[in-house]
A and B are shown apart, each in its own frame.
Chain A
């Protein structure tokens, strides 16, 4: 870090390698919008970024209360980042409830910016505080900047003749302007956003928001309490064109890509559920891609309609979160018996039951592995980051069509709403996913055999409308080959084995497991899903500190990669951090008889790097 002489602006600029900032306020204060704009702007400046939006399930929880606090954390840096950061360099709090529920994460000496106008007696009462936290002696630990945001915003936009409520709503843009000045963020992208969002008929609102944004910036330049601003240089990413992308968006786009690669029209059956609904919203916008989005009457109808579409020869997809997946279970078993390709995507949230709708968790692994009646294995893949969602659904659709079975993809709330810079792929270089439908009867001696299999044990995907191939499929056990109803004991055992072997055959189509770090040593950290970034960063830090530790991140949870057993055998200990009670650990233990150690957190929050490094250091030297 160095302090430079002032350049274009009067105040000096301090160069730092990375900043973690959290913006907190009421759920109606526009904190998510502010966070997304800051993320997008930072990505455009070439920083690597990672985000953690954290908001209540209620749309507008009672104003000013602790329950209504909505937050958005972002880390932007001139180096690679894989997590939104453990602790905060700066906290922007719009009211007392937001301040007291978030202050614990602010570093000592960190910057604390508050909207001073919302610390009146009534605000303190709503936050259940007897005295103002701003008067607390602990404030000495922080660089407290009290800003009269409500008043300053009102003054800034007075020329537009807005109502008190409308003027008040502009204050998040004032806060944004101040944060932008503080971290040397360019305002252009946000100005484009403002004028795009409030276009026809709302140009006054747009102008007022711009004014508020610029007023916030000017305020930063002016006040003496802020002696200098910061600068974070671009990160060294590999060459290419980038954009900022969120998990659910990447997932929706990945589905479009999978449909295109396989020459299929996408049929998307869904029922609204947090945190998966944004996929429905996203896909509903792309009807011109031939996408059919069907908002069904319930979760069961959503998956059943997708099965119907797959039977008709389309790309059937359904998405949900844990509670919805529970409802779909029987239909997933049906698709498995029909041996039709289908994608079932579970954007996990805190459970059980309704649980924590807007918080993240990894506790659906065993549900998707075993949550169906009978012997009913299915392939399970898990995305590791927002951008990865684009790839993984394409890979899943490749498996589904090659093996003729439903494939489950796990995402989670943290990935779904998180954002990261994403290198835009060259679509022309995406290989086709080969799909074919038979036109000829495969049985010279009689009717078409819908369950005659190829070398991967996949059956032909014969679709209605094809002459001579009429056949019936159903959930009742069937004779191999003909598909006729069969209760024969030998046949049932054979079919159960075939269906299991089909899933096992997925391993033949997938790459082996890779390891970051030495192939043997004290400790292997084995992770899966959305904890990738935190685990990777923690292992890298431990390795830098000289510890004997490596990292393997699982993308394929069923079947496991064929070389996983070998990898596990290379280390004295295996540590499996999970945001659940040890679900992968149970699978790994039973499969490989390895006495894996769990590190389990069930707080609706991602791991911090610090807690992972601490855990690693308990087991590695």
Chain B
């Protein structure tokens, strides 16, 4: 380790590789924000590892000058879990997509979240398979026309945030590729959380599914189509901040604040430590009936997996002493044959 602490800049995290994403891809924006945030987190490049699966997003590790593994389709969470168990001190990021994390790697995704391994998982959701050139994904919407669904998608889509709540993830957030300030804040908060931090990023694939999230990206519509979650604050949205979200029985409703009939204190106040049932309700808010929440849905503390696993090893050593191989081999019934 260097003795003098170096002040890190975004450039320190840039690799020497040419970036091979399509021009105009939302991935560029996510990469830029990541490189901006990494120095702010203050962990040096050699202590940082990016692990990905397969897909456009999964080329990410090649473009950051940290340690990195470009693994196989859907399995990045498993590789990352092994690495984190071996080396808990490392800062580990899993970069994945909607097909990688939710289709072929769905099993690992759920188990990563429920174990609460201390790492960050960023899911680039573009509602399409990009690298295989345009088949529908598990987050494609019903009726979506793609190469593999010329008459429209008939599957009901998966909701990544709902799944994360089902798996009892301790940190769940959403952001949008083009909303760079917000994205940077969310990535930073994800890095600060101890336990698995799950961030869904709405990412535009301008080649195979252009405009899938235009409602959340375009300046003209995004204020009405999204609501920013802020801990302890009422859920207010709209260009003129004139609409709010209110709890009505077991569901949510959009209310108008303009006429003064509904007051701010009647609205739902966002609580990152709220009961998961409430967080689930937020995850079900879908455009155009509702503005879609962006920001941190949930942020709770819970012991991490590697802490518990390493803890048992330490406990075993403490209770029984460091293992003695010769003693083990000679344990139990033995007999001696003389020359």
Contact = CB atoms under 8 A, between A and B. Distances in A.
B90 A464 contact: yes
A454 interface: no
Interface string A304-325: 1111111111101000000000
B83 A311 contact: yes
Given A287-B313, A314-B86, A465-B46, A242 B71 contact: no
A118 interface: no
18 contacts: A40-B333, A43-B333, A44-B335, A189-B333, A256-B328, A286-B316, A286-B323, A290-B323, A297-B107, A297-B108, A301-B78, A308-B83, A311-B82, A338-B69, A425-B329, A427-B325, A469-B46, A471-B67
B325 A242 contact: no
A304 B317 contact: no
Nearest to B71: A334
B323 A304 contact: no
Contacts of B83: 308-309, 311-312, 464
B70 A473 contact: yes
B82 A288 contact: no
Given A243-B330, A288-B322, A309 B17 contact: no
Which residue, B80, B82, B337, has most C-beta atoms of chain A within 10 A? B82
A474 B85 contact: no
B290 to A, nearest CB: 33
A191 to B, nearest CB: 12
Given A267-B85, A291-B313, A308-B85, 6 more contacts: A46-B335, A243-B329, A289-B322, A427-B325, A467-B2, A473-B69
Interface of B: 1-2, 15-17, 44-47, 49, 51, 61-62, 65-72, 75, 77-87, 89-90, 107-108, 110-111, 309-310, 312-313, 315-317, 319-323, 325-326, 328-330, 332-339
A427 B326 contact: yes
Interface residues of A, number: 76
Contacts of B332: 243
A338 B309 CA distance: 26
Contacts, number: 213
Contacts of A468: 46
A242 B316 contact: no
- Give the top 7 A-B pairs by smallest Cβ distance, nearest first: A308-B82, A474-B70, A305-B82, A289-B323, A304-B78, A312-B86, A287-B316
A269 interface: yes
A242 B46 contact: no
A300 B71 CA distance: 12
Contacts of B45: 470
B79 A307 contact: yes
A331 B82 CA distance: 13
Given A243-B332, A290-B317, A330-B72, A308 B80 contact: yes
Contact of A311 (B44, B79, B322): B79
B69 A311 contact: yes
Interface stretch (A83-91, A233-241, A498-506): A233-241
A308 B335 CA distance: 42
B335 A312 contact: no
Given A308-B79, A467-B1, A242 B335 contact: yes
A115 B333 CA distance: 31
A306 B82 contact: yes
Contacts of B326: 426-428
Nearest to A462: B67
Contacts of A267: 82, 85-86
Contact of B330 (A296, A300, A424): A424
Nearest to A333: B72
A314 to B, nearest CB: 4
Contacts of A244: 333
A597 interface: no
A431 to B, nearest CB: 14
A101 interface: no
B46 A292 contact: no
Q: Which of A241, A290, A305, A427 has the most CB atoms of chain B within a 10 A radius of its CB?
A: A305
A484 B323 CA distance: 42
B82 A294 contact: yes
A85 B201 CA distance: 65
Nearest to A468: B46
B328 A470 contact: no
A43 B335 contact: yes
Contacts of B111: 296-297, 301
Interface string A197-208: 000000000000
B323 A466 contact: no
Interface centre among A43, A287, A294, A425 (most CB of B within 10 A): A287
B329 A476 contact: no
A237 B51 CA distance: 53
A473 B86 contact: no
A472 B69 contact: yes
A289 B83 CA distance: 19
A475 B72 contact: yes
A467 B15 contact: no
Contacts of A257: 325
Interface centre among A44, A192, A331, A464, by most chain B C-beta atoms within 10 angstroms, is A464
Contacts of B51: 308
Contacts of B47: 464-465
Nearest to A314: B86
A551 B130 CA distance: 58
Interface string A334-377: 10001000000000000000000000000000000000000000
A301 B85 contact: no
Contacts of B15: 472
Contacts of A312: 82-83, 86-87, 90
A283 to B, nearest CB: 11
Interface in A201-239: 234, 237-239
A298 interface: yes
Contacts of A240: 336-337
A238 B337 CA distance: 7
Interface in A590-615: none
A100 B209 CA distance: 68
A331 B72 contact: yes
A465 B75 contact: no
A398 B250 CA distance: 61
A508 to B, nearest CB: 29
The CB with the most chain A CB atoms within 10 A, among B15, B78, B89, is that of B78
Given A238-B337, A241-B334, A464-B83, A427 B329 contact: yes
Nearest to A471: B67
A265 interface: yes
Contact of B313 (A43, A45, A290, A476): A290
Contact of B49 (A237, A242, A464): A464
B43 to A, nearest CB: 11
Contact of A288 (B49, B84, B321): B321
B104 to A, nearest CB: 10
A409 B61 CA distance: 32
Interface in A389-442: 424-428
Given A242-B337, A311-B69, A292 B309 contact: yes
A447 interface: yes
Contacts of A485: 17, 62
B314 to A, nearest CB: 9
A253 B334 contact: no
Contact of B79 (A304, A447, A469): A304
A540 interface: no
Nearest to A475: B72
A427 B330 CA distance: 11
B70 A239 contact: no
Contacts of B65: 447, 470
A128 to B, nearest CB: 41
A582 to B, nearest CB: 33
B337 A46 contact: yes
B82 A316 contact: yes
A239 B337 contact: yes
B90 A465 contact: yes
Nearest to A330: B72
